[in-house]
Amino acid sequence: MFIFLHINYVIMSQTILSLKNVSIYQENNLILSDINLEVQKGEFLYFIGKTGSGKSSIMKVLYADLPLKEGEGTIVDYDLNTLKEKDIPYLRRKIGIVFQDFKLLSDRNIKENLLFVLKATGWVDQVEMNNQIQEVLDRVGMGNFATKMPHQLSGGEQQRVAIARALLNDPELILADEPSGNLDPQTSIEIMEVLRKINANGKTIIMATHDYALLLKYPSKTLKFEDGKVFEVIQKSV
């Protein structure tokens, strides 16, 4: 069974994310209120809740697509309250983002998709870029697919490439927003295996999902989004 408790974690060393008395707004509409959260380096954290419960909204605040209007927040050593427009690209270099719909460039092959990201984030040495691309593709089991076009890949393969893209700049934190939302159950499990392996190697991951089956198969710290509030979920055997 699930027990729901208001969250309020104790600050520890190597804090990757801290939210204090945060409320999340879409324009002037209150989406979530009274969020207090600490995420430490190396954690795997689920955001779970129905579509429209606010999971994506809080993700957007974390990667500065929405402003933080109320409360205090820091992420990978950036203050979300005082973050300037010019600093957002630097923040996003320290955060890898994986979306539900992959967001691959359809007119470029996989290597060119990843090259685009590296060049946009300041890489210039071609040999180093080629090596980095091969390394991240190998990490997600896509090392032999560099010359494929996105449309030649299955949904699961495209999501693996999206995860590789998120790893390019060796981020401190990976935000995965419904990464299995467009995938069948077996492929969802394969993607989860990739993410868990990355986490086991030390990467901090926050994953938004509405799939309770994944949560039960791969249990970890979980926050439930419901009725504009956020609760910790403690799993106990009946």
**Band of pLDDT at residue 3, cut at 50, 70 and 90:** very low
Q: How many domains does the chain have?
A: 1
Residue 125 has pLDDT above 60, yes or no: yes
Residue 2 has pLDDT above 50, yes or no: no
Asked, for residue 73, whether it belongs to a domain, the answer is yes
Asked, for residue 135, whether it belongs to a domain, the answer is no
Domain with residue 29: its CATH number is: 3.40.50.300
Which secondary-structure segment (H or E) carries 89? helix 88-93
pLDDT digits (tens, 9 = 90+) for 137-181: 999 999 999 999 999 999 999 999 999 999 999 999 999 999 988
Contacts of 219 by beta carbon, 8 Å cutoff, 6+ apart: 235
Strand ranges across the sheet with 95-98? 2-6, 229-235, 221-226, 44-48, 204-209, 173-177, 95-98
Ranges assigned E (strand) in 42-195: 44-48, 70-75, 78-79, 95-98, 173-177
Contacts of 19 by beta carbon, 8 Å cutoff, 6+ apart: 35, 36, 37, 38, 71, 72, 73
Domain that holds residue 227: 1-92+210-238
Asked, for residue 184, whether it belongs to a domain, the answer is no
